[in-house]
Structure 1
Amino acid sequence: MPIKPDIVLDLKGLYCPMHIMKTKKAIDLMRTGQIIEVISNDKGSKLDISALCRRLGLELISVKEENGIFRFTIKK
């Protein structure tokens, strides 16, 4: 059964560092246990979002790529 995110953050068209800054800002506003789905078309976001999750101690539940679109499911 797919995980239903509490927040969906569509960052298509934004590139480093904007996608990281907007993701961190959204996560800062979340409560512990909430889930966010981040959508990006920046190829660098795969490494950047993964590193952000490690740095902030977040759970990166999944990373999916389809047709150049990345979908990150993150739990705070």
Structure 2
Amino acid sequence: MSAEFDTAETLDVKGASCPMPVLKTKSATDGLDPGDILEVLATDSGSMSDIDGWASGTGGVELVDQIEDGDVYRHYIRKTE
């Protein structure tokens, strides 16, 4: 399954469990330009709620979409500022 986003970067955190997907996502978004979209690939089912909660409580990022693709959870985060 593929989302229709023009991603600036893909972060592969498959195999990592909480809190690493969120920590690595934050670090990766810090290096993006405003408007860029980061695709995060995770295998931890908890990443669905963890990344959603992080994005909701963090200024400067927006969770655009989350997709469950078999055993992989795809998260799309846009840097807003």
TM-score over 0.5 for the pair? yes
Aligned-residue CA RMSD (Å): 1.3
Matched, 1:23 2:61: no
**Aligned pair 1:59/2:62, yes or no?**
yes
What's the counterpart of residue 71 of structure 2? Answer: 68
Which TM-score applies when normalising by structure 1? Answer: 0.92
Aligned partner (choices 36, 39, 45) of residue 37 of structure 1: 39
35-44 vs 1-10, greater mean Cα deviation: 1-10
Q: Which structure 1 segments of 5+ residues have no match? A: none
Q: Which runs of 4+ in 1 moved over 3 A?
A: none
**Matched-pair identity in %:** 37
How many residues were matched structurally?
Answer: 76
User: More helix by proportion, 1 or 2?
Assistant: 1
Q: Could you list the runs of 5+ residues in structure 2 that have no partner in the other structure?
A: none
